[in-house]
Structure 1
């Protein structure tokens, strides 16, 4: 009961706290790379401005992936990050199943100086929009 009394008496402080928490959440999300819609990712890939890195497991990757995507499973990323050195000048688009791992990997790549974008909605959204996938 005291909690609700505090909120009603200190509504300005509580509102400020909520606004700051929201700003922090947005800031942390952008540190992992700005989201890229499937349409924007397609444009970047077709204009050869970006390289897709697929973070899913091998079975999900072979079931269907974006053409010319580099497969580096999330669990192996720290050991294999050096494979991306040749693409430092390009935008790296991180693709995972639904966006659950792209944030952590994106923060690592941004710290290393890469231009990073995260595929909005992950490969689930890509498939839902009936965009092309390469099997195998």
Structure 2
């Protein structure tokens, strides 16, 4: 015990190191999905990909096959899947709006709604297909 009191900085360093090692798993507790997991959900579990960007952002570039439902119009939108058991992957440009939208969707009964970690930026970095809307 005397050793710990005399060398408190070693104990502090050990605790901080452990915390930093655990941080990645703890920070995902709120739950986003990585691009690889999103693709798996889309291909194997028929997940619906929803882009909550504004129409102008969506037209400038979006993930292929994504439905555009702006965050401000999310509640009660006609393009939301009627089957609330389907997984829903929500994305935006960076992931910030998608996290809010996933929370709203879960409150609306879409329990499997999850934001795409990193948003469209991460989607593009993973070399996944994107497209632009005509107009």
Q: TM-score, normalised by structure 1?
A: 0.69
Note if 1:116 corresponds to 2:113.
Answer: yes
Is 1:47 paired with 2:50? no
Structure 1 residue 122: Cα displacement: 0.5
* Equivalent residues in 2 for 1:27-66, closer than 5 Å: 30=30, 34-66=31-63
Greater share of helix: 1
8 Å Cα contact 2:90-2:113 kept in structure 1: yes
Aligned to 1:5: none
Q: Which has the larger radius of gyration?
A: 2
Q: Match for residue 93 of structure 1?
A: 89
Q: Select the structure with the greater relative contact order (CA < 8 A; seq sep ≥ 6).
A: 1
Give the Cα–Cα distance (whole angstroms) in 2 for the partners of residues 77 and 112 of structure 1.
10
Distance 1:54 1:39 in 2: 17
Question: Which segment is superposed worse, 117-126 or 69-78?
Answer: 69-78
Unaligned runs of 5+ in 2: 1-18, 20-25
Q: Write the distance in 2 (CA, Å) between the matches of 1:66 and 1:87.
A: 22
1:85–1:45 distance in 2 versus 1, CA, 3 Å: closer
Query: Alignment RMSD, CA only?
Result: 2.7
Scaled by the length of structure 2, the TM-score of the pair is 0.69
